[in-house]
């Protein structure tokens, strides 16, 4: 299963925070700088609510997902991806407490098959 995009899903930061709280997840609001990351994966589920700007992710099959304010992105664990975004502001919801995330948070591609135990 890959990322799932829902356009025009919410209107305010408070809406995003409430949805994350309803899941029992941990919310963090961030100003994300422009970035072009290497491919990686995470060992936790997450959701991103784009408040302002444009978020863009690419996947190993060459496809890309781009969205703007009001969009919700469901990002399940173990999906290989990379951010290639201009700067944007978002509220991130994590299925685990950020203080308990294993390091590095962005897992290298060569560890994805090893983690499939």
pLDDT tens figures, 51-95 = 999 999 999 999 999 999 999 999 999 999 999 999 999 999 999
Judge: domain 4-98+106-111, CATH 2.60.120.10: yes
pLDDT of residue 80: 97
Query: What pLDDT shows up at residue 116?
Result: 59
For the chain, which residues make up each domain, given as ranges?
4-98+106-111
| Residue 113: predicted pLDDT | 81
| Bridge partners for 75 per DSSP | 46
Give me the mean pLDDT over the 36-48 stretch: 97
Q: Write the pLDDT tens digit of every residue in 108-117.
A: 999 998 765 4
Report whether 61 contacts 3 (CB < 8 A).
no
Q: Is 117 helix (H, G, I), strand (E, B) or coil?
A: coil
């Amino acid at each position: 299963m890959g990322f799932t995009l829902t356009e025009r899903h919410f209107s305010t930061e408070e809406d995003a925070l409430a949805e994350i709280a309803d899941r029992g997840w941990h919310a963090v609001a961030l100003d994300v700088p422009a970035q072009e990351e290497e491919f990686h994966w995470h060992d936790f589920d997450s959701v991103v609510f784009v408040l302002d700007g444009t978020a863009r992710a690419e996947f190993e099959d060459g496809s890309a997902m781009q969205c703007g304010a009001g969009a919700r992105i469901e990002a399940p664990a173990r999906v290989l991806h990379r951010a290639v975004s201009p700067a944007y502001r978002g509220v991130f919801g994590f299925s685990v407490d950020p203080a308990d995330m294993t390091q590095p948070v962005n897992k290298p591609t060569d560890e994805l098959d090893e983690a499939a135990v």
